[in-house]
Structure 1
């Protein structure tokens, strides 16, 4: 009778592979665990990422980007103060001026409009001052006032569009210049040191990151202000058009023989 060796069936003696060497682990990418552990245990990671050091050595591109960020911040603050409803189309102003106009209290209407420094108040004041003219002439004057002032608002936010366009290019230029400088230094210093090369590339890429950090907020604020100005323009057109139809179409119709 043959004796069967059952030692291979004992669980404690079975050979087990490390988790990262099993077929399933290789299938799902767990082979990266030892490499990740090595990176986390490296001295560079233990010391932490220093983002201030590369900024100090970013070069001329970072100085230009810093100036652009200051300009963009100034434009944003200035436009936040002025692109507001009370400076363009105050709530309820057209309704109160219309009521005084219909009651014949033109002096009170002019006083009301003079107390508001807005695009709508200047449009309504033009209607009152030239109420003796025909509809076409008054409409042309009112449209000119609105068009000039809205275009002035758009002109004042245009620097944000310029900065949003130029800042990434300046950052990319700084990155390219930094990488050229890093490779040139390595070529002059003999054997290539991977740590030195990685440090130079990291410092160069800071310029690209800085350019994007300046461009993205500038672009967002530019489109936000542009949308708000467009919305105010539509509101001006609606309110001024209602007053023109009320006071000038009726006059024109009454003057028609």
Structure 2
């Protein structure tokens, strides 16, 4: 127990001494910016990964939300045109809507008169292309979620190297000698983990939204096929 208390006391002194040694403006505290700069040059690629995560998330979120917005009466209007034999009006209506569902239905309308299997296959091919557009750049978030913690781990190695190099060079086992390596190790590790976690959450959230949009596309395709088969019932 005594040894444990001594260890905790030593760690507290190390942290306090390191903080005092790195207080750039001598105001008695370390600002968030000052804290980040203590991570060293590895904070630059981590900052790039963070900005890339934020950009990719909002860019994909906007694109997915735009793709999922469609008039609730869209299929009803298509149904009325098809049932009334006004194919040109149905296609004109679908073609003028910038939406994945509308493009899939438009392809189905273009194939009217052919076998149902051919129509379904054509619509399926368009659906795959639309799904690919929605998933574009999601792999970047997945990559960031994997490599950001690795950069943090690299910072841990670099920080330990810096710490032992300073000790070996000066032979002085003091707080000031150890502070740089300690901060590099802790800050880069924490930053890498946080960025990786954010990218992981963003990737999974966007994947869920893409799946919802894909289900809406499949439901609309199935409804369109039902419309084509209604007269035969």
1:194 maps to which of 170, 175, 195 = 175
Instruction: Specify which structure has the higher proportion of helix.
Output: 2
Q: Supply the distance in 1 between the matched residues of 2:135 and 2:67 (Cα, whole angstroms).
A: 14
Partner Cα distance (1:162, 1:226) in 2 = 14
Of residues 113, 121, 145, the one that matches 2:94 is 113
Of the two structures, which has the highest relative contact order with CA contacts closer than 8 Å and spacing of 6 or more?
Answer: 2
Q: Distance in 1 between matches of 2:51 and 2:188?
A: 17
Please say if 1:60 is aligned against 2:56: no
2:158 is aligned with 1:177: yes
CA contact (8 A) 2:155 2:184 kept: no
Aligned counterpart in structure 2 of residue 87 of structure 1, from 67, 71, 89: 67
Q: What is the RMSD computed on CA atoms of the aligned residues? A: 2.6
Correspondence 1:29-108 to 2 at 5 A: 47-84=28-65, 86-88=66-68, 90-92=70-72, 93-108=74-89
Question: Which has the higher mean CA deviation after the structures are superposed, 56-65 or 138-147?
Answer: 56-65
Residues in 2 aligned to 1:52 and 1:89: alpha-carbon distance in whole angstroms: 41
1:224 to 205, 209, 224: 205
Rg (Cα) greater in structure = 1
The answer as to whether partners of 1:175 and 1:204 remain within 8 angstroms in 2 is: yes
Per the alignment, do residues 185 and 195 of structure 1 end up closer, same or farther by CA in structure 2, a change over 3 Å counting?
closer
Unaligned runs of 5+ in 2: 21-26
Bigger shift: residues 91-100 or 161-170: 91-100
Q: C-alpha distance in 1, partners of 2:104/2:69?
A: 10
So what's the TM-score if we normalise by structure 1? Answer: 0.75
Please list, as runs of the form range in 1=range in 2, the aligned pairs for 1:227-246 lying within 5 A after superposition. 227-246=208-227
Q: CA deviation at 1:187?
A: 1.1
How many angstroms does 1:50 deviate by?
A: 4.1
How far does residue 88 in structure 1 lie from its aligned partner after superposition? 4.1
Gap runs ≥5 in structure 1: 1-25
